Structure 1
Amino acid sequence: MFWRPRRAVAIAAVALTATLTFTTGSATAAFGSLPPANPHLGPLGTATMHGDAESSDATPFAGPGTGDVDSDFRELAAACPTILQGADGMPQALCTEIIDRAPKVFLLDPRTAQPVASLDLAKGSLLGGVYAYLDNADRMVTVDGSGDLLRIGHRRDGEDWTLEIESRTSLGQAVTGHCGGGDCDAVSSVMADFAGRVWFATDNAAAGYLDPATGIARSIVLGPGEQVANSISTAPDGVAIATTHALYLVDVDASGAPSVRWRQPYDRGPARKPGQLSWGTGATPTFFGPGSGTEYLAITDNAVPRENLLVFDTATGGPVCSVPAVDGTENSPIGAGSSLFVASTYGYPYPAVPEGAGPSEPAGADFTGGMVRIDVTGAGCRTVWTSNAKSAAVPRLSVADGKIYTVTRRTLLPTGSVGLTDTFRYTVIDAATGRTEQEKLIGGTAIHNTLQMVGTIAPDGTLYQGTMSGLFRIAPR
């Protein structure tokens, strides 16, 4: 992850292919092709929070660049961690309203990012929205507070746009049957696999899928006492799920039941760290690789004093390498070709942490920031560069222009501690060298706090970046 949409309450109420190539030869040569496009999702790069089913956090589209940009902020009175865009070019944002803590979908005008339609979703035990994706009909797929799987479509009627729930399917016993029913568990993440099944993981580490053809949902419990606090990822190889104790690769067995192909425990450390929202990995699993685009699977652990970047062989679960990366992170690694990029969130000053997250050790720390690039080689892994950039958002890599796009946080206090006078800056980093090439002031108040949310780059080079009270639209001038 990165920032978790289902926790918006606590913090805010506080068709392309795997061999996609580009004309920008240097970037393509450096980072290779993107993971395979899932035929059941919308466009590669904009259909999921992390860009694709494999959660690469890479995009085929060039970003706003290092020249002049226009930055416009849209106040929505809601935290907006999930901003997606379908093949029709209409951005869609899944947000959580600050006042009533309920999820809300906004359909945006791509020219201005002003809402043209909105839809309130049910509030429930989820305390807000969960992860969502766009299917191949540009419909948002998510689970609301009722626990039902929704497909939300949009259409134009004259000059007006509307959002509507086109289908609703109960996940019922598959979500709560293992713990006695009722509201004993809730879906934390959903994603389509490459056969069209809709997979889900729950807070209490149940994992399963809904078969759209039959409407039947099936599930298993991954590990008693474990929890899932990040989104899930899918690839032709299976479904990757990180719990607070281990990384799993899950698939469907010969009988059609969900089954674990392999499990790899990791060092979860003695406690949650400051700048993290749960005790365990802060990472959504990232499929990546220089060949098929999914031969490796990566997460970070929660070791002390420094967290390790862990890379596994997707087919077998065998360890490829473990490399000290950052002090701590709540963000998913970027993965492209043989390269991984990890940004530190250690000490990030979230306004609050989720209920049940537990105390951090130490109780507090300054936001140190920093980013690292680590490459997989024939001999294991090596650190290519480190940067002191204080990323306040989940970075996004463009393989079209070889740049990493993020928002950095800069303090004006002489002590270096964060405060109310902090500023937020649109930042461009050269992925080959780690050099910061551009920083532009875009905000300086609490409503501009990007809270480690992820940005989405549209095909026209526009960057949509969520904040705790709305979103930025950043576009080349």
Structure 2
Amino acid sequence: MRHLLLLLLLALLSACSEPPEPTPLASAGAAPLLLGQPATATPLPGRLPRNPHLAANGNGYMHGDGYSSDSHPGPGPLGRAMQVASRDGSRKPGGMCPIHTFDRGGRLVVLCANLLQFELQLLEPRSLKLLARYPLPARPSTFHALITLDPDKIMSDSSGAYFYLDNQDRVVIANAEQRIQRIAHRQDAEGQWRFEQVDAWDLSTQVPHDCVRPSAWFPSGECDPITGVMPDEGGLIWWWTRRGRLGTLNPQDGAVHGTQLAGEEIQNGVALDAAGLYLVSDHAMYLFALDAAGQPQQAWREVYDRGSARKSGSLSQGSGTTPTLLGERYVAITDNADRRINLLVYRREPGFAGQRLICQLPLFANDASATDNSLIGWGRSLIAENNHGYSSAFAQEDWGAVSGGISRVDLRADESGCDLVWHSPERSPSAVPKLSVQSGLAYFYSFEPQANGENAWYLTALDFASGATRFKALAGVGQAFDNNWSPITLAPDGTAYVGTFGGLVALWDAD
């Protein structure tokens, strides 16, 4: 009977319609609109290469670009008469909108989710008006969470989150039925926007899919959801899964190649350059390249300290970072060492024969050190955020347990190690941080406890050079504004978008 009731609830919510005009998120109290003072832009030197099969750098992928630098080449808010808009999605399919990309017209192409389903949405910039939506299959973790009444099954599942927008504004995404879809959005003769699938490839022969679903509540086989997809510079689509499978899809002829890491899991995103695919499992850091037949082959592997257990502030036992590429020679992650995590920087060349590890620097305080968000990487600098003490918007009760801390580390030019440049005590418990190259500011999402027991949530800008907090712009007060592991994303027009537990928030300078 319980399963029948849950199915009826699923069907009922899936039938709800999403109104085009947004309902703003309700703030649960008053708080200062701006802490600090407006900043002055200080552009940073340098630029990153663009993957020709991705949208422009900063526009097409959760971590910004093929290097997963978490940087955006354009501006970010400077704290000048800040404007705020939000969209409440908590009572509708789509709900929280954590992943944001931008088409060439500046429109948002976002992945939204609630406890029951994922969907793509096309939103008008800043106003957040809904232009189109495209439902996606429910993930197995949704049904598993319903059976066990444990929402952590959903929170620890990153499958499907790593999609990208290609160089023709098409979404490329792995859905919960082991299919890679290519989905375009177009405006019809009446001016209405629509999503439509233009290609799909079935990977079920490569990736087992005996998963919990309405027709099979207690499957006996293996379920291995596809975590994400990314293109390489030759146009192949790389894919990877929770249980350590990875491979390529040739979109021209549908050919699929794959391999598997024995006994290892992959929970994070990837980075790519001309040499191949960089990924981190819960045991080791890898480069995979293609052999003459197009089969992915391990080019090198570096084991790191994965610690003895999953930490508070982490979604798995192992590194919580997507690999970040620096320049032409380095790749960086963090480990999961027990007392203090370490920033690790490796030489990444395929044929390098010496010691790959050139930086191992402990971060944050003893027994208060964890991150499940990727590093910002620019030039020879890396910025890490401490997520220790945070669980999720569902479960967090003790906000004093959130340890906080943000550190910038620079790699020495002679490759003899790396050095702590600055440390900030700001507490940004779960947001993927971003750097605006044009503004010279790194953006985080912090909270300030209020007298009414709620948290005020702020877009927080730190000076890249000094680490000084320049300003904090209020997004809103209350649980609906909790970030809940979503990225901050900077649009080409300088607007900052933050996925929240209740929906989506936009913040920008007054024109």
TM-score normalised by L of structure 2: 0.80
C-alpha contact 2:285 2:303 (8 A) present in aligned 1? yes
- Counterpart pick for 2:79 among 63, 66, 84: 66
C-alpha contact 2:209 2:225 (8 A) present in aligned 1? no
Deviation of 1:174 (Å): 2.1
Aligned to 1:447, what secondary structure does the other structure show? helix
Show the 5 A alignment for 1:217-296: 217-222=256-261, 224-289=262-327, 294-296=328-330
CA distance in 2, matches of 1:25, 1:349: 34
The equivalent residue for 2:401 is 366
C-alpha contact 1:83 1:456 (8 A) present in aligned 2? yes
CA distance in 1, matches of 2:461, 2:194: 36
C-alpha contact 1:390 1:410 (8 A) present in aligned 2? no
Deviation of 1:106 (Å): 0.6
C-alpha contact 1:201 1:232 (8 A) present in aligned 2? no
The equivalent residue for 2:6 is none
The equivalent residue for 1:213 is 252
The equivalent residue for 1:175 is 207
Aligned length: 431
Summarize deviations over 1:77-126 as a string: whole Å, max 9, x none.
2122211002232211101123xx21111100114112111111111426
C-alpha contact 1:95 1:129 (8 A) present in aligned 2? no
The equivalent residue for 2:342 is 308
Deviation of 1:446 (Å): 1.1
Show the 5 A alignment for 1:357-436: 366-377=401-412, 378=414, 379-392=416-429, 393-412=431-450, 421-436=454-469
CA distance in 2, matches of 1:202, 1:213: 22
Pick the structure with greater CA Rg. 2
Deviation of 1:130 (Å): 2.5
CA distance in 2, matches of 1:306, 1:349: 18
| TM-aligned CA distance change 1:90 to 1:271, over 3 Å | same
CA distance in 1, matches of 2:120, 2:490: 19
Q: After superposing the two structures, state which structure 1 stretch, 314-323 or 430-439, moved more.
A: 314-323
| TM-aligned CA distance change 1:119 to 1:178, over 3 Å | closer
Question: Is 1:54 the counterpart of 2:89 in the alignment?
Answer: no
Deviation of 1:183 (Å): 5.2
Aligned to 1:176, what secondary structure does the other structure show? coil
TM-score normalised by L of structure 1: 0.86
Summarize deviations over 1:393-425 as a string: whole Å, max 9, x none.
111011111101121122237xxxxx9511101
Deviation of 1:177 (Å): 9.4
Overall identity of the aligned pairs, in %: 36
CA distance in 2, matches of 1:151, 1:102: 19
Deviation of 1:255 (Å): 2.0
C-alpha contact 2:377 2:383 (8 A) present in aligned 1? yes
**Runs (4+) off by over 6 Å:** 177-182
CA distance in 2, matches of 1:365, 1:425: 17
Aligned to 1:453, what secondary structure does the other structure show? coil
The equivalent residue for 2:130 is 115
CA distance in 1, matches of 2:443, 2:160: 25
The equivalent residue for 1:125 is 140
Deviation of 1:129 (Å): 4.0
Summarize deviations over 1:455-475 as a string: whole Å, max 9, x none.
111111111111122111111
CA distance in 2, matches of 1:177, 1:69: 47
CA distance in 2, matches of 1:214, 1:160: 33
C-alpha contact 1:103 1:144 (8 A) present in aligned 2? no
Summarize deviations over 1:141-163 as a string: whole Å, max 9, x none.
10111110011111112231111
Question: Is 1:33 the counterpart of 2:47 in the alignment?
Answer: yes
Deviation of 1:214 (Å): 1.5
Question: Is 1:193 the counterpart of 2:193 in the alignment?
Answer: no
Q: What residue identity is the alignment partner of 1:303?
A: A
C-alpha contact 1:420 1:446 (8 A) present in aligned 2? no
* Contiguous gaps of at least 5 residues in structure 1: 1-23, 354-362, 414-418
CA distance in 2, matches of 1:318, 1:173: 36
Summarize deviations over 1:298-343 as a string: whole Å, max 9, x none.
1000012110000001103711110012311111000011000000
CA distance in 2, matches of 1:472, 1:297: 32
Q: What residue identity is the alignment partner of 2:137?
A: A
Give the structure with the higher percent strand: 1
* Contiguous gaps of at least 5 residues in structure 2: 1-39, 143-158, 212-218
C-alpha contact 2:244 2:260 (8 A) present in aligned 1? yes
Question: Is 1:81 the counterpart of 2:114 in the alignment?
Answer: no
- Counterpart pick for 2:495 among 448, 453, 462: 462
Q: What residue identity is the alignment partner of 1:56?
A: S
Question: Is 1:138 the counterpart of 2:169 in the alignment?
Answer: yes
CA distance in 2, matches of 1:178, 1:120: 22
The equivalent residue for 1:20 is none
C-alpha contact 1:147 1:187 (8 A) present in aligned 2? yes
Question: Is 1:163 the counterpart of 2:195 in the alignment?
Answer: yes
The equivalent residue for 1:5 is none
Aligned to 1:226, what secondary structure does the other structure show? coil
Q: After superposing the two structures, state which structure 1 stretch, 152-161 or 265-274, moved more.
A: 152-161
Q: After superposing the two structures, state which structure 1 stretch, 434-443 or 182-191, moved more.
A: 182-191
